[in-house]
Amino acid sequence: MLETAHKKYKIMNCTDKYLEKIEEWLVKNNIGTTNEKKNDISWSIYRAVHENKIKLSDIESIITHIDNTEFELNEGNIWENLTDYFKNDKYVNFFRTIFGLTPCGLSTSPNAMCGKGELFYRLLRPKSSQPSRGDIVDNSIKKELKGEEIRISSNNITGKQYKNIIDKIFKGTIEGNTPKKGGLKDTVCFEIEKIQYKEKYETEFMKLPIDKRLELFSNLLTQLNIDGNVLYLSELIVETGFDQEKYQRILLEDWFIKYKKDNFDELIILGNGNNIKIIKDISDLNKLEIYADYFRINQNGLIGWYVK
């Protein structure tokens, strides 16, 4: 019994030393706004320490290396970057585990949960900080971190509003599509943005003279609150009949600019770490592919694009 109690004491004492060292690390990096939050984050890191067989001396080595050699988060494969940086596979695997952690202690509110990669970033970039709004500030640059499923949305147009707008503009002018399921099953809709209807609407718009196409899309972009010269933008869409990709991109660029203005200076798309992308302005949007839409035209959610 005494031997068992002694073992338990040794384990608890060892755990306390790890937690103490981890909390020192958090204090040094100014991570966690309260003791309760620091404790929550410390236990999350401790689990990563235990899982990857990290010793107290390893933690010291990691902290010292980060202090002496600035880590730069660049585009591309973060794991290759970290391997070059640490030259220690165990440390890289430790940070792989950290990458997936989303401790509640880093959340700024119940409606602003910590995302994957935030703790990872804060530990590797000790001078970074957590603003009252947004993800991270680093060298006075506000950065928004996103994982693998990224949606860039309109800031003011819902699915139902979008449907009302396109119904009024296109009804009686072109033939719409008829959904086979959902709340709008067997009703006529004009889902010109959806990839599965690309060829259909190319055919439909080619039936109209170009001046009519220009009129329709100028009206549409205006009602969608798209900034810029809507006549010029409409010409890009309709000069060959109907260019669905240009229509998608025009919406994406407008929504990105407005989203960026209110929220961040740089958007960092982490994904799973294999192909990080940094988006600073609309020219960087060429790095992204629209792979699905979020135009729920029977719902009140804001319309948007899924990108990767």
Question: What's the domain range around 225?
Answer: 150-307
82 and 187 fall within a common domain: no
Taken in order 133, 139, 141, 145, is the CA torsion positive or negative? negative
112-128 confidence digits (pLDDT tens): 567 889 999 999 999 99
pLDDT at 289 over 90: yes
Number of domains into which the chain is organized: 2
233-249 confidence digits (pLDDT tens): 999 999 999 999 999 99
Residue 144 lies in a domain: no
Residue 290 lies in a domain: yes
Largest Cα–Cα distance of the chain, in whole Å? Answer: 92
123 and 270 fall within a common domain: no
130 and 229 fall within a common domain: no
Residue 109 — pLDDT band, cuts 50, 70, 90? low
pLDDT at 7 over 50: no
Once rounded to an integer, what is the mean pLDDT over residues 297-304? 96
User: What type of residue sits at position 201?
Assistant: Y
Q: What percent of the chain has pLDDT over 90?
A: 85
pLDDT of residue 9: 36
Considering 116, 139, 162, which residue would you say is the last residue of a domain? 139
7 and 69 fall within a common domain: yes
Rg of the chain's alpha carbons, rounded to an integer? 25
Residue 58 lies in a domain: yes
Q: How far apart are the first and last CA of the chain?
A: 58
pLDDT at 6 over 90: no
